[in-house]
Amino acid sequence: MPFPAHRLSRARLLSARPRAPRGAVLLVALIFCAIIALSIGSYLRLSTQNMRITDRAHLGTLAMNLAEAGAEQAVWSFNQHLAGNTHAWSTTNGWRTPSGTTITGKFTNFTLPAHLKAEVRVHVQDYNSTGVVRPRVVALAVVHPSSGPPVERYLEITLRRRSRFATGIVGRHSVRFNGNKTIIDSWNSVGANGAVVAYSNSTRRSNGSVGSASVEVNSLVVGNADVYGYVSTAGPDPKVGAQGTVGVWGDASGTVNQNRIARDFSANFDDVGAPAAPNSLAAISGAITLPQTGGAGGNTILDTPSTLNGQTVYIYSVPSIDLSSGAALSISASRNVVLVVTNSVGSAVRVSGQSSISIGNGGSLALYTAGDISITGRGAANGSNNGNGTNNLNQPKNFQIWGTRPYNPNGTPQDIRVVGNGNLSAVIYAPFGDIKLAGSSSSGPGSARNDVYGSVVGYTISILGEESFHYDESLASFDGTAPFGITRWREITQWRQLTDPADKAIVASLLSF
């Protein structure tokens, strides 16, 4: 039976109404869920990656701390050895059997969090040095994480004795070479069984050293000097001329080896005082020989001896020393003399013309004064001096000049001039002294040009003329048991990027044991 018309019309109306948007809402919801899932996944991946980066950065810091611990173990062993500990470099302390002057060690007894494992390998050059040469330590630390590759850090340090004379030339404020062609190198005046070794072309070495403790620009001006050794500043670059050299014997003029330049130099400049003097003299203005003798045959020493640093010495106080007209202050052979010059204002010591200070073979002289010093003319002969640089000069430590003027930033520095026609073998320590060394012109070490042997520490140091300066490496142990300290610290992040084959060989060797 057919539907009534009014029912058909109602059915059509119902079918014409729009359907509810359920499918569209579901689709939008799925899209939002997909976006959220992708965002969460990306966030988790980013968080995981950041966590890994942070974790490896933390492990890198841990590895560097361990490398420093390995280097500190080497420093401890050096100083224990100096103090007389014969087991400092033993296998019980983690070191292996030495090979020549090299020793290596491997350390694994570290307590680390999260069950991490680590090892430190240390390579030490010149492990048996007493300060004559500067030891070098390279440490490698390897940390093994629970996953991923191991984390490695390399560290290199250079050591020197904390002696006043651990460096050849040291200026608290500045060091300047103003001559045409000054030469700086080194040698060791102490040979086998303590025998004295003279400087010569066969004994010269490339461990000459110059340092400035100032942070001012141009505090160290090498100019056209040839420094066969090391140059150090407290921060600024040294000023090296077009013909200046920083390197080793054999390097061409103009060579500047950056591996021999450091910019973290520091030094202690403690004021020094003079010892008490049981003997006194009037102002010295003419020839005199010390210690004074008399009695039967003129061989009896008339002055009171003292004991200083384990030696028998004769200590005198004297107002001033002023020598001219060929007069000489002579120190008898094998005698040790200390002169405390009390004139602290103006000239305290002046040697001019053909006058001189003459120290006999095996004798010694130490001058203490806060006044000005001028040694010119024939200068000071420390031992027999035939003028060719390969003679019977006493060791530099046998002639000591101590400037006792205290440091005063608003005061006037002590003026110390050593300018003459002879060689000088001496140590000079004047932390508030303007020191000038000058000589005549000639060519070649050991020739007629003036040679200075020893070490010099001052407020400002100027090298004039064509001096040849030879640092006596044995002075690094001049202060007895002075410990080793770090003079250079360098992190090696990528050892494969090193350019020096010797450096690469040392670092690579750390992986082979």
What pLDDT, on a 0 to 100 scale, did the predictor assign at position 444?
42
pLDDT tens digit string along 67-111? 999 999 999 999 998 888 889 999 988 999 999 999 999 998 888
Q: What is the spatial distance between Cα 456 and Cα 470, in angstroms, rounded to a whole number?
A: 11
Rounded mean pLDDT of 127-156?
Answer: 86
Q: What is the spatial distance between Cα 252 and Cα 245, in angstroms, rounded to a whole number?
A: 8
Task: Report the range of poorest mean pLDDT among 294-298, 331-335, 422-426.
Answer: 294-298
Rounded mean pLDDT of 139-153?
Answer: 87
pLDDT range class, residue 5, cuts 50, 70, 90: low
Per-residue pLDDT at 483 exceeds 90: no
pLDDT tens digit string along 416-443? 998 766 678 899 999 999 999 876 544 4
Q: Which token pair is 40?
A: 């969460």
pLDDT tens digit string along 34-76? 888 877 877 777 666 666 667 778 888 899 999 999 999 999 9
Q: Yes or no: say if 240 and 261 are a contact pair by the CB < 8 Å rule.
A: no
What pLDDT, on a 0 to 100 scale, did the predictor assign at position 511?
67
Rounded mean pLDDT of 134-156?
Answer: 88
Q: Which token pair is 73?
A: 């173990």
Q: Yes or no: say if 67 and 59 are a contact pair by the CB < 8 Å rule.
A: no
Whether the pTM exceeds 0.85: the reply is no
Is residue 252 exposed (0-12), middle (13-18) or buried (19+ Cβ within 10 Å)?
Answer: exposed
Q: Yes or no: say if 473 and 186 are a contact pair by the CB < 8 Å rule.
A: yes
Q: Yes or no: say if 320 and 281 are a contact pair by the CB < 8 Å rule.
A: no
Residue from 215, 209, 211, 208 nearest 171 by CA? 211
pLDDT tens digit string along 243-269? 999 999 999 989 999 989 989 888 889
Per-residue pLDDT at 389 exceeds 50: no
What pLDDT, on a 0 to 100 scale, did the predictor assign at position 97?
92
Burial 258-273 (b: 16+ CB within 10 A, else e): eebbbeebebebeeee
Nearest 5°: the CA angle 430, 395, 374 is 40
Q: What is the spatial distance between Cα 411 and Cα 429, in angstroms, rounded to a whole number?
A: 18
What pLDDT, on a 0 to 100 scale, did the predictor assign at position 388?
43
Q: Which token pair is 251?
A: 């390097």
pLDDT range class, residue 466, cuts 50, 70, 90: confident
Residue from 394, 346, 397, 390 nearest 369 by CA? 346
Return mean pLDDT, the chain. 85
| Chain position carrying tokens 């090892």 | 119
pLDDT range class, residue 321, cuts 50, 70, 90: very high
| Chain position carrying tokens 């069984």 | 193
Give 192's DSSP letter: G
Helix (H, G, I), strand (E, B) or coil at 451: strand
Per-residue pLDDT at 25 exceeds 80: no
Question: Percent of the chain at pLDDT above 70?
Answer: 87
pLDDT tens digit string along 176-216? 998 767 899 999 999 888 889 999 999 999 999 999 999 99
Q: What is the spatial distance between Cα 385 and Cα 381, in angstroms, rounded to a whole number?
A: 6
Q: Which has more confidence, 403 or 387?
A: 403
pLDDT tens digit string along 354-363? 888 999 999 9
What pLDDT, on a 0 to 100 scale, did the predictor assign at position 73?
94
Q: Which token pair is 420?
A: 């003459």
Q: Which token pair is 97?
A: 């059997």
Q: What is the spatial distance between Cα 513 and Cα 510, in angstroms, rounded to a whole number?
A: 7
CB atoms within 10 A of CB 237: 12
